[in-house]
Amino acid sequence: MNREELKTILPHREPMLLVDESVVTGEFVDSKYTIPQDAWFVQGHFPGYPVVPGVILCEIMAQGSVLLIPREQLVDNTALYGGLDGVKFKNSVFPGDTVEVRARLEDSRFPMYNVLAEAKVNGKLCVKGHLKFFLVPKANLKGIE
């Protein structure tokens, strides 16, 4: 799936759409995102040493991971973070890097989904952790159409 196809599933839009492409294969989803040189989240983080914030790396993992939730459940619901567990940051990510995420659904009991995800750059682990999502009816969210 490319960015336009992802927009039919994910509610995110620029500048918060942090996935360029995704492929679901069996129990895994593999996603990629190339960090723009002028990304808004590195402009002041940090001057002279632009490093991608950890929270953004978690968001990159999350956006790709949502594709593990059955699409029919995403029609009337939005996946929101329910928690992050055991997140470990191993290496920094910089503008120009392509972040490659691999995620697998560990457990699900509607409306809750638990995912194990990891992000690498050039095969080197940068962050990994357990992500929890809860599906919330779109009708309950202000501003969601």
As annotated, the active-site residues are 45
Going by the DSSP 8-state scheme, the letter that residue 2 receives in this structure is B
| pLDDT band (50, 70, 90) for residue 145 | low
CATH homologous superfamily for the domain 3-140: Hotdog Thioesterase (3.10.129.10)
- 95-108: average pLDDT: 98
The residues spanned by each domain of the chain are 3-140
> Could you tell me where the beta strands, DSSP code E, fall in the chain?
21-25, 28-34, 77-89, 98-109, 112-121, 124-137
pLDDT of res. 59: 98
Query: b/e string for 62-99 if b means 16 or more Cβ within 10 A?
Result: bbbbbbbbeeeebeebbbeeeeeeebeeeeebebebeb
- 61-66: average pLDDT: 95
Going by the DSSP 8-state scheme, the letter that residue 13 receives in this structure is -
How do residues 8-48 score in pLDDT, each as one tens digit?
999 999 999 999 999 999 999 999 999 999 999 999 999 99
How do residues 116-129 score in pLDDT, each as one tens digit?
999 999 999 999 99
Rounded distance, CA 134 to CA 138, Å? Answer: 12
Q: Which residues contact 18 (CB under 8 A, 6 or more apart)?
A: 12, 33, 56, 59, 60, 63
